[in-house]
């Protein structure tokens, strides 16, 4: 619930409540108050690319205990179109998800999916990967599209520089992303969506520090770290996030975009990150890679053909409570559609349950030991 | 519940209880008592081809009010194999469906799906459509496979003659199917599965009558009509079923295999059929054809792109209670996996609800009027 006595932002915007800081790590236990409900942090946000978390439905998300989900502006602007979603009441009503929601700016997908993209000071021109149609995404347009979709949190339009770009490219890109942030803020109506800024800078602490100063000079309801998990080694990403997270304001939510594996999540919670999103659990589920307390399971493997046991004996999800590994293997091998959903239910349960355990450990003051045990165990591999 | 005072078959077998016969039609209201629960008839059985009703899960079926489902022996014998299913406790445990279940004999799929099939007195030799492997299905093997799968109702191994076969082929085929029935009965252990006989004969009343006499001379817990809805006009099928259904014993369940549309179901209930199965609602759902109280909806049509209304305002299913036509169209056009499930939930709800309404009308003594109104209305078209 929003505490009206402690509001520093309009009630239509999100507000972060820092409940507790861990004594032995930089981990934080907090709450993100949004117009569509309160999110307990650290939080993992399932990705609902095209207005739907792939293979499952909103009631599945509720049963899984998902509190906040993410939508991709790039996908939605191309199909069915942000204006259509807006006409139909916004993305919450359109997709029947009434809880907290975040949209990205579309920038990352333009750089990873679109064809013939061209970046200029104005923005990013590109062709749709669906039909080749021409589009221009600018800071103003990205904010307008996101405000039309109506998520609780919207993201600034930024460039995620290629990991192998040289120093000169990085410096020019970061300066442009800062100018784009100022244009985003100028375009932002503040009516119902809260704008988060994004700090880039790759693996350079110097660039991260400089960009964090520029971005955090703008008073915003939250800040994100972008440009991680784009091909670098996990250890390098973990070290980078550990350096960069403390550069973000203590009293604002910190969102690490596009991360990650169970090991990444626990490690980056310890670095002080509050919010995560990643397609990993849902995408791998559809490919038959399942995360369990005993480690990763490739369900199509022949060793499971006659395995009468549950996928994960320690798991309370519908899939594990109901079916054997042999049956899940059969569904996957037979290309049954329900394999996609049952696998997705399990992987999301694993990721969401991991976050719930991290929060419980933070509350109990046992996070450091819990995290050390988890990262040394089979489930983190 | 099984009424032990009125058992004429072993308690491990199914028993039909005829509750009421309609005064103005041949429709019947009954109950099929099975080892896995009681089925209110007339009943529509969703088809779980490969050990799963495509795109949905057992808890979905329970919420939809499905009481009995069907499995395909042909598919299961090829993948994952009946022996494997048997080792894992049978098809009920394997697929986590604890309600009544029926399996077909595999014959129909051999004739419609398999390659290089060859029929002899012994049985049907064929090659798998999956990997070309060679198989032989005989009456004895079909019963053995089905008893291994362990459904409550199993079907005799028969040939469904090609609709355009000549009279001589039909006569030879029917005589062989009768000989195969005797071999099925000899192979049947009666331990937990109840064997139903199948009457063939195409659209010839004379052949149907002769074959019904042969098949019903064997005292079995139930009888089916096969060989309908194999390409003939609906009106010819309706006329044929109206002639053939009364040829089956009054005190046993009558099962019309592989039928049909909503119009078929209501018409054939009126002819005295108690049990139906068909892939129609699930297959059409995956193709975006949806049955509603206002008629069929092709959800990909552009007219629904901005349609904020529910798919069927008269429907209480999750899909209709939760989403707009515009959203369902978006999911289908975007090839989202959840479109398959949400569409399947709706179509199955429509078919199962139709049967519930038929049963209620039979109980209220208003079936003839209800059926006339339904068949004249938009939902039957």
> Does B184 share its domain with B288?
no
Q: Does A96 map to a domain?
A: yes
Confidence at residue B10, expressed as pLDDT on a 0 to 100 scale: 65
- Looking at the complex, report in whole angstroms how far the Cα of residue A340 sits from the nearest Cα belonging to chain B: 8
Q: Does B175 map to a domain?
A: yes
Confidence at residue A1, expressed as pLDDT on a 0 to 100 scale: 36
Confidence at residue B6, expressed as pLDDT on a 0 to 100 scale: 45
pLDDT classification of B167: cutoffs 50, 70, 90: very high
Of B252, B277, B302, the residue at which a domain comes to its end is: B277
Other Cβ atoms less than 10 A from the Cβ of A213: the count is: 12
Confidence at residue B183, expressed as pLDDT on a 0 to 100 scale: 98
Nearest CA in chain B to A306: B84
> Does B129 share its domain with B193?
yes
Residue A305 scores a pLDDT above 90: yes
Pairing of strands A124-127, A134-137: antiparallel
Report how far Cα A240 is from the mean position of its chain's Cα atoms: 18
pLDDT classification of B2: cutoffs 50, 70, 90: very low
Q: What is the DSSP string of B97-127?
A: --S-EEE--SHHHHHHT-EEEEE-SS-EEEE
Confidence at residue A164, expressed as pLDDT on a 0 to 100 scale: 84
pLDDT per residue over A104-131, tens digit each?
999 899 988 888 899 999 999 999 999 9
> Does A223 share its domain with A370?
no
Q: Which of B84, B331, B341 sits opposite A341 (nearest CB)?
A: B341
Low-confidence winner among A250-254, B130-134, B254-258 (lowest mean pLDDT): B130-134
pLDDT classification of B3: cutoffs 50, 70, 90: very low
Nearest CA in chain A to B56: A338
> Does A207 share its domain with A288?
no
pLDDT per residue over B170-212, tens digit each?
999 999 999 999 999 999 999 999 999 999 999 999 999 999 9
Give the separation between CA B249 and CA B245, rounded to whole angstroms: 9
Residues recorded for chain A: 381
Nearest CA in chain B to A91: B327
Residues of A in contact with B311 (CB under 8 A): none
pLDDT classification of A162: cutoffs 50, 70, 90: confident
Catalytic residue among A22, A60, A104, A158: A104
Q: Compute the Cα dihedral for B170, B174, B175, B180 and give only its sign.
A: positive
pLDDT classification of A9: cutoffs 50, 70, 90: low
Q: Which of B57, B79, B306 sits opposite A334 (nearest CB)?
A: B79
pLDDT per residue over A59-68, tens digit each?
999 999 999 9
CA–CA distance from B315 to each of B44, B55, B319 (Å)? 18, 20, 9
Find the distance separating the first CA and the last CA of chain A, reported in whole Å: 37
Q: Does A8 map to a domain?
A: no
Q: Which residues of B are catalytic?
A: 104, 277
Residue A186 scores a pLDDT above 50: yes
- Report which of residues A11 and B331 the model is more confident about: B331
Nearest CA in chain B to A342: B57
pLDDT classification of B11: cutoffs 50, 70, 90: low
Confidence at residue B32, expressed as pLDDT on a 0 to 100 scale: 98
Q: Does B128 map to a domain?
A: yes
Chain B residues whose C-beta sits inside 8 Å of any chain A C-beta: 50-52, 54-59, 79-80, 84, 87-89, 94-96, 286, 305-306, 308, 318, 322-324, 326-327, 329-331, 333-334, 336-338, 340-342
Residues of B in contact with A94 (CB under 8 A): 324, 326-327, 330
pLDDT per residue over B278-334, tens digit each?
999 999 999 999 999 999 999 999 999 999 999 999 999 999 999 999 999 999 999
Burial class from Cβ neighbours inside 10 Å (0-12, 13-18, 19+) for residue B113 reads middle
Confidence at residue B123, expressed as pLDDT on a 0 to 100 scale: 97
Q: Which of A76, A88, A97, A303 to mutate to test the interface with B (most CBs of B within 10 A)?
A: A88
> Does B185 share its domain with B144?
yes
My answer on whether omega of the bond before B260 falls inside 30° of 0, hence cis, is yes
Active-site annotation holds for A104: yes
Of B230, B246, B277, the residue at which a domain comes to its end is: B277
> Does B40 share its domain with B96?
yes
pLDDT classification of A11: cutoffs 50, 70, 90: low
> Does B222 share its domain with B348?
no
> Does B227 share its domain with B318?
no
Confidence at residue B1, expressed as pLDDT on a 0 to 100 scale: 37
Residues 6+ apart with CB under 8 A from A348: A46, A53, A56, A61, A64, A66, A281, A282, A285
pLDDT classification of A10: cutoffs 50, 70, 90: low
> Does B299 share its domain with B245?
no
Domain with A110 in it: 44-249
Number of domains in chain A: 2
Q: Does A23 map to a domain?
A: no
Pairing of strands A69-71, B295-298: unpaired
Report which secondary-structure segment, H or E, holds B84: helix B82-87
Of B243, B277, B311, the residue at which a domain comes to its end is: B277
In the sheet with A115-119, reading across from the earlier edge strand, the strands are: A115-119, A124-127, A134-137
Average pLDDT of the residues in A47-59: 97
Give the separation between CA B45 and CA B258, rounded to whole angstroms: 10
Structure pTM? 0.96
Confidence at residue A5, expressed as pLDDT on a 0 to 100 scale: 43
Residues of B in contact with A131 (CB under 8 A): none
Q: Does A274 map to a domain?
A: no
Find the distance separating the first CA and the last CA of chain B, reported in whole Å: 37
Give the separation between CA A270 and CA A372, rounded to whole angstroms: 10
Residue B162 scores a pLDDT above 90: no
Give the separation between CA B12 and CA B15, rounded to whole angstroms: 9
Helix (H, G, I), strand (E, B) or coil at B316: coil
Q: Which of B55, B88, B306 sits opposite A88 (nearest CB)?
A: B306
Q: Does B380 map to a domain?
A: no
Q: Which of A80, A96, A330 sits opposite B322 (nearest CB)?
A: A96
Mean pLDDT (chain A, rounded): 95
> Does B284 share its domain with B352?
yes
> Does A220 share its domain with A346?
no
CATH of the domain at A133: 3.20.20.105
Q: Does B317 map to a domain?
A: yes
> Does B272 share its domain with B283?
no
Give the separation between CA B328 and CA B289, rounded to whole angstroms: 12
Average pLDDT of the residues in B56-78: 97
Locate B45 and state its tokens: 């059985």
Give the separation between CA A285 and CA A299, rounded to whole angstroms: 10
Residue A7 scores a pLDDT above 50: no
């Amino acid at each position: 619930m929003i505490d009206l006595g402690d509001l520093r932002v309009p009630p239509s915007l999100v507000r972060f409540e820092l409940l507790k800081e861990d004594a032995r790590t930089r981990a934080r236990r907090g709450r993100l108050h949004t117009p569509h409900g309160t999110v307990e942090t650290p939080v993992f946000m399932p990705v609902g690319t095209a207005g739907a978390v792939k293979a499952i439905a909103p009631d599945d998300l509720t049963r899984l205990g998902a509190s906040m989900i993410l939508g991709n502006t790039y996908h939605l602007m191309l199909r069915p179109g942000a204006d259509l979603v807006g006409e139909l009441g916004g993305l919450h009503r359109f997709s029947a998800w009434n809880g907290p929601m975040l949209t990205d700016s579309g920038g990352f997908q333009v750089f990873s999916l679109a064809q013939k993209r061209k970046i200029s000071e104005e923005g990013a021109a590109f062709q749709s990967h669906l039909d080749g149609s021409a589009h221009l995404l600018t800071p103003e347009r990205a904010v307008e599209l996101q405000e039309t979709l109506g998520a609780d949190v919207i993201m600034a339009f930024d460039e995620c520089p290629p990991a192998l770009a040289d120093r000169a490219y990085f410096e020019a890109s970061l300066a442009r992303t800062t100018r784009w942030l100022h244009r985003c803020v100028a375009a932002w109506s503040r009516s119902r969506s809260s704008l988060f800024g994004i700090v880039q800078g790759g693996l350079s602490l110097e660039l991260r520090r400089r960009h964090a100063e520029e971005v955090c000079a703008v008073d915003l309801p939250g800040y994100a770290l972008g440009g991680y998990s784009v091909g670098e080694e996990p250890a390098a990403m973990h070290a980078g996030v550990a350096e960069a997270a403390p550069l973000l304001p203590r009293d604002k939510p910190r969102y690490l975009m596009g991360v990650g594996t169970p090991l990444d999540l626990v490690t980056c919670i310890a670095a002080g990150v509050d919010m995560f999103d990643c397609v990993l659990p849902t995408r791998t589920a559809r490919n038959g890679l399942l995360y369990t307390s005993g480690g990763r399971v490739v369900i199509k493997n022949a060793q499971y053909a006659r395995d009468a046991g549950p996928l994960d004996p320690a798991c309370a999800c519908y899939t594990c409570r109901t079916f054997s590994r042999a049956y899940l293997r059969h569904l996957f091998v037979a290309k049954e559609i329900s394999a996609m959903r049952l696998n997705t239910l399990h992987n999301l349960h694993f990721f969401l349950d991991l976050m719930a355990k991290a929060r419980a450990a933070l509350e109990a003051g046992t996070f450091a030991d819990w995290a050390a045990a988890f990262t040394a165990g089979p489930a983190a591999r």
